[in-house]
Each structure stands twice: as structure tokens, then as C-alpha cells.
Amino acid sequence: MLPPGPKAPQALQTVEWIVRPTKFLRDAQARYGEPFTIRTAWSDAPMVLTSDAEEIKRIYAAKPDVLRGGDSAAFMEPFVGRNSLLILHGDEHLRQRKLVLPPFHGQALKRWTDQIAELAHAHLDTWPVGTPFKAHRKMQDLTLEVIQRVIFGSRDDALRDALRATLDMTASTANLIAMSLVQRDLGPYGRFLASIKHIDELVYERIDQPSTGDSILDLLRDSGATREELRDQLVTLLAAGHETTATALAWALERLARHPTDLTEDPDPFIDEVLRTRPVLAITARKTLQPYELQGHTLPAGVYVAPCIYLANRRGRSIPFGGGTRRCIGAAFAQLELREVLRAVSMRFSIRPVRAEGERMRRRSITLAPARGAEIVANPLA
Ligand code: HEM
């Protein structure tokens, strides 16, 4: 027997999960206590959620033959591909992780600091002055350019437009519901699949271009990856590496507009608080490969046990990047980017909200984003 949870049929829970993700989680926790079980079309088995700090630690530390990562991302496979770091598990996952992690960590990060600050300033030059605009979109443009430079060594506007067009298809609530519940090759889902084909053409063009020397594409090429493996890792890094960071930046600006703070010196406490109170991803999940004990329940093999970032952060524990061998490989890079961009904004602009009340957390594909796109007005500092 699985722990209790919402009794509505899977399709209705999927709609709730898309339309009111945070209320759905809060209501289920309040009504059923923890752990609780949800059923949505986004996973092939029920998900058992917890926000208990000790249990989460134990889940992230579990051996891979007990709890396995990767399976819960299967719904993203048509986009990221079967060789994606998000999908792989076992030895192959660890091998790919070891390959991609170093450029996003430690000393290697330092070389990006100045470049990110420079790009941030160039993008801030394009901000409208004194009139409302949606900062989320501006942040998507910036973070996509940053990650393209890291991955390819230069920007690529055709690929940028193709990626944004595809990801934007998963932003509207109506589209998301249609794509989650009716996966036919017609309608929104069919258009989504067709636009992925266009991305593939552009990515393969890039793969076939001569090496530039020290980009991540070169690193992956040198590892002997096949063209398809290269495509999958590149699309994964491009998407995971910009959409999440853009959303975190959008939240940071939405908050900053309402709580003016000087971020030129030490933006870290502000960033930590934004990531805690407005987590970009709501859950991380692992599949049980054998019976698993969770808070007095014995879960059978074949279901998901899922630390709920959103609920855990509300209890004061901040795990915006997940944990264990699946912890976000871009965490340090994202934090660096957040720091540099927010510092640049704080140096140049005073920003204020368009409306006084804070923006709701609204689902945009897998992320929780500001409902009105982080609407702000920016005025240059004297
Ligand atoms: C604020 C920005 C970001 C947030 C909030 C975020 C959050 C997360 C979370 C919660 C996970 C799942 C961890 C788990 O299952 O335990 C994850 C995984 C991942 N993230 Fe991020 N991320 C961010 C930025 C980035 C960036 C910049 C990159 C790439 C450079 C990136 C690449 C990845 C990859 C490849 C994985 C899969 C790791 C694996 O399964 O081994 N992320 N991220």
C-alpha cells in the first residue's frame, strides 16, 4: 500500500500539477501529511513525496541499486534524447557526468566570470528605460547566449531562435495540458516534435563544423562520443543550462523590485533566499529498485520517491539543486551567473515593480516561473 494522497484520477491530478503546482503540493501535504502520493501523466509510476530533511539526506545518499535517478526524466526524452545526462543511469551516467562536470566547477569557472559580466552589461544596454518590460524574456536571451559561448565558444542565433521557439511551446498552460494528456503526432505535440527536428539539424551542423579548441563540444568530441550522443548532451546542456538560470534570475528581479537591496558587494545571501523561497524546480525523483522504507511506509519497487524541493524549502531547508550523484552539475556555474548578472543590474539600475503585489508562481514547462514574466520598470542610477 502506498502512502495516501489525492484521490482524483491521474488526468485531473496532471491538470492540477500544471495549472496550480504549488497549491496542489501544499494542499496534498496539509490534507494527507507526509509522505503523500501523487499520480500524474509526467511519470510512469506514482510518486511518493517527502520534505523531511533526514529522509531527503538518506534518499540522496542511497546506493544506485536501491534508488535510481534518470527514470523520472523519461517524459523529456523526445527533446533531450536517450543519451542525455538527465536520462542515463548507472555507469554510463557516471561516465558522462565525470566528463561534463569539470568545466562547470572550481578553477575552470573563474575564466567565465569576466565574460559573463561583460555579456550581462551588453544585454543591460538593451533594457528599455522607464517603461514596463518582462525581465524573464530578457534573462532567457542573456543566459542562452552565455551557455552557447560555454558550449560552442560562440553564439549561434539560428539555434537560439529554434531552441526558444521549441521551449516556448511548453510554456502555455493549455499547450502543456494538451501535450501531457494527448501525445499524438498531431496538434501541439506534433508541432513540438517537428520543431525538435529543426533544432537537430542546427545542432548537427554545429557538430560537423571544425573544432575551435577548448569548448565543451570539443571536450565531448575528444571523448569519442557518437554524433547522436553529442547531440543529446549538447541539447541537454543548452536547455538545462539556460532555462533554469533565466527563471532564477527572473525571480531575483521580481523580488529585488519589491525589496530593494544593494547587490554590488555581496549578492549571495539575497540569491540564497531567492532560490529557497522561489525554487525553480519543485521536485527531484528517484525510482525504487527494491522495497524502500520511508517514514513508516514500505514502498514497493517500481515507484518514485521524491524529495519535494518546494515543500522542503518552505520548512527552511534549501535544496534548490537536488543532491547526491544526480545533483545539478551546473549549480556553481548558475550561482556565478546569478551573482555577476545581479551585480551588474545593481550597479546600473534602480528597479521597481509594475504592480505592488508579488507575482504568483506559475508553471512554465518544468519550471516554476513568475506569472507575469517578472514585470519591472528600470531607471538608470545617476
Ligand atoms: C538556478 C539554476 C539551476 C537550478 C535551480 C537547477 C536545478 C537542478 C535540479 C533540482 C536538478 C536535479 C537534481 C537531482 O535530481 O538531485 C538539476 C539537474 C541538472 N542540471 Fe541544473 N539547475 C540550474 C542550472 C543548471 C545549469 C547552468 C546547468 C548546465 C550548465 C544545469 C545542468 C543540469 C544537468 C545536466 C542536470 C542533470 C544531472 C544528473 O542527472 O546527473 N543546471 N538541476
Listed by start position, the domains of the chain span 10-380
Residues 195 and 237: their CA atoms lie apart, in Å, by 18
Residues 274 and 267: their CA atoms lie apart, in Å, by 11
pLDDT at residue number 187:
80
The closest-lying atom of ligand 1 relative to the alpha carbon of residue 248 is 1
Atom 20 of ligand 1: nearest residue by CA position:
328
How far does residue 328's CA lie from ligand 1's centre (Å)?
A: 3
The closest-lying atom of ligand 1 relative to the alpha carbon of residue 84 is 35
Residues 301 and 289: their CA atoms lie apart, in Å, by 5
Q: According to CATH, what is the number of the domain 10-380? A: 1.10.630.10
Span 231-240, average pLDDT: 95
pLDDT at residue number 184:
67
The closest-lying atom of ligand 1 relative to the alpha carbon of residue 237 is 29
How far does residue 281's CA lie from ligand 1's centre (Å)?
A: 9
Residue-wise pLDDT for 149-202, tens only, equals 999 988 999 999 999 999 998 888 888 888 888 766 678 888 899 999 999 999
Residues 220 and 69: their CA atoms lie apart, in Å, by 22
Radius of gyration of the chain (CA): 20
The closest-lying atom of ligand 1 relative to the alpha carbon of residue 309 is 10
Q: Of the candidates 361, 337, 362, which has an alpha carbon nearest to the alpha carbon of residue 139?
A: 337
How far does residue 267's CA lie from ligand 1's centre (Å)?
A: 21
If one residue of 105, 217, 281, 321 were mutated to test the ligand 1 pocket, choosing by the most ligand atoms within 8 A of its CB, it would be 321
pLDDT at residue number 183:
66
pLDDT over 80 (residue 262): yes
The closest-lying atom of ligand 1 relative to the alpha carbon of residue 73 is 40
Q: Which three cell numbers stand for residue 84?
A: 542525455
If one residue of 244, 304, 305, 308 were mutated to test the ligand 1 pocket, choosing by the most ligand atoms within 8 A of its CB, it would be 244
pLDDT over 90 (residue 107): no
Provide residues with CB under 6 Å of ligand 1: 69, 85-86, 97, 104, 236-237, 240-241, 244-245, 248, 280-281, 284, 320-323, 326-330, 333-334
**What phi and psi, each to the nearest 5 degrees, are found at residue 367?**
-100, 160
Span 307-330, average pLDDT: 95
How far does residue 107's CA lie from ligand 1's centre (Å)?
A: 19
How far does residue 193's CA lie from ligand 1's centre (Å)?
A: 23
Q: Of the candidates 166, 146, 147, 145, which has an alpha carbon nearest to the alpha carbon of residue 157?
A: 145
Length of the chain: 382
Going from the C-alpha of 298 to that of each of 233, 303, 306, the distances in angstroms are 36, 11, 14
How far does residue 10's CA lie from ligand 1's centre (Å)?
A: 27
Atom 16 of ligand 1: nearest residue by CA position:
322
Angle at 139 between CA 137 and CA 141, to 5 degrees: 75
pLDDT at residue number 118:
96
pLDDT at residue number 62:
97
How far does residue 222's CA lie from ligand 1's centre (Å)?
A: 24
In terms of pLDDT, which residue wins out, 223 or 299? 299
How confident is residue 270, by pLDDT bands cut at 50, 70 and 90?
A: very high
pLDDT over 90 (residue 54): yes
